[in-house]
Amino acid sequence: MTEAAVRRSYTYCTELTRVQAANFYQGFRLLPKDKRDGLCAIYAFMRIIDDVTDTPSICDEEDGTSDRSELLDDWSRTVSAIYRDALGRHPILPALHHTVHRYAIPEAHLQTVIQGVATDLHTRRYPTFAELETYCYQVAGVVGLICLHIWGCEDLDASTPLAISCGTAFQLTNILRDVREDADRNRIYLPLEDLNAYGIPEDEFIRGRDSERIGRLLAMEAARAESYFASSRPLLEMVDIDSRGAFAAMYGVYRTLLRRIGADPIRILTNRISLSAAEKLQIVRDSLLFARTGRLTTD
């Protein structure tokens, strides 16, 4: 594998990230180039794997589940191969190979992500929060662990549970933001034990009726996600100083998004909540200030 091939691959990953990662890319730009390239390679991998579950095969007689499962199996084998220095033909692979070896990212982390994404092929309900938390670890908490390898930190053992909590906070925020879209696909990520506790039948939740009970449920879920943000907050000072601005930007965008959801939870049944480009830019500016002073406006 030539240096030119690696550079082309990183360029491909960076462009994919720029186009697809609306909530992350501006924060990525605060990293030194080597770390930014590595994070873009990881993001490209995550994006491609996640897209497998959202793109049914036109060749499948039903919903494409078997074909998509086979694609994920192929990616699992591809990941194993790059750890043996055997690369396939996908354009992200030279950059991904370079990144996982440069930053000593364990293969198990990437395989865990694939396993978590595969869950979406056959799971449409989570009976308990414990089961949902396991899913969040697989698709987001372990991504936090991967980021630690790229960002750098003095105490990996102490940082590990905080990174998992932060990833969980991000994923719980995504789940709340996408409640309506997921319900339209007959998918409920919020634990059924929580719906039952608030007296909400599944069909009522799926229809998205504007009820006081659903509003209270969503407020509780937002408060739980906020607790994960709060518990992971010390991690911002534990990563290497040249990574703090980027991490703070990602953290700030997602925590601000969650707080907007929490301010009026019932709105997510009819509107997808998002931040404007100007708001994200201000968070990036605040994150630069945090990297210099330690003060964060989202505290």
For residue 130, pLDDT over 70 is answered with yes
For residue 209, pLDDT over 80 is answered with no
Q: Going by C-beta distance under 8 Å and a sequence separation of 6 or more, which residues neighbour residue 187?
A: 124, 125
Cα–Cα distances (Å) from 131 to 116, 124, 128, 219, 285, in that order, read 12, 12, 5, 20, 37
For residue 179, pLDDT over 50 is answered with yes
24 or 179, which is more confident? 179
pLDDT of residue 60: 43
Nearest to residue 25, comparing CAs of 34, 237, 238, 13? 13
> Quick check: do 1-105 and 123-299 share a fold?
yes
* Distance from the Cα of residue 273 to its chain's centroid: 17
Report the alpha-carbon distance of residue 187 to residue 14 in Å, rounded.
32
Phi-psi group of 104: left, alpha or beta (phi > 0 → left; psi -120 to 50 → alpha; rest → beta)? left
pLDDT of residue 48: 97
| pLDDT per residue as tens digits for the range 284-294 | 999 998 888 87
> Could you tell me if 287 and 27 are in contact, meaning their C-beta atoms sit under 8 angstroms apart?
yes
Alpha carbon dihedral 253, 258, 263, 269, in 10-degree steps, equals: 120
For residue 263, pLDDT over 50 is answered with yes
For residue 102, pLDDT over 70 is answered with yes
For residue 82, pLDDT over 70 is answered with yes
Which CATH number fits the domain 1-105, given the four candidates 2.160.20.10, 2.60.40.10, 3.30.390.50, 1.10.600.10? 1.10.600.10
Task: List the chain domain ranges.
Answer: 1-105, 123-299
pLDDT category, 58, cuts 50, 70, 90?
Answer: very low
**Of the listed ranges 50-59, 118-127, 163-172, 183-192, the one predicted with least confidence:** 50-59
pLDDT of residue 275: 94
**Of the listed ranges 5-14, 50-59, 131-140, 161-170, the one predicted with least confidence:** 50-59
For residue 222, pLDDT over 80 is answered with yes
Which residues does residue 59 pair with via DSSP β-bridges, in sequence order?
Answer: none
For residue 4, pLDDT over 60 is answered with yes
Q: What is the DSSP letter of 266?
A: G
Q: What is the DSSP letter of 87?
A: -
For residue 177, pLDDT over 90 is answered with yes
Give phi and psi for 84, each to the nearest 5: -105, 15
pLDDT of residue 291: 85
Class at the top of the CATH hierarchy for domain 123-299: mainly alpha
Give phi and psi for 190, each to the nearest 5: -60, 135
For residue 220, pLDDT over 60 is answered with yes
Tokens standing for 80?
A: 């194993």
Give phi and psi for 189, each to the nearest 5: -85, -30
Does the reported pTM lie above 0.85?
Answer: yes
Sign of CA dihedral 54, 223, 110, 101: positive
Q: What is the mean pLDDT of residues 141-159?
A: 97
Q: What is the mean pLDDT of the chain?
A: 93
Q: What is the mean pLDDT of residues 247-257?
A: 97
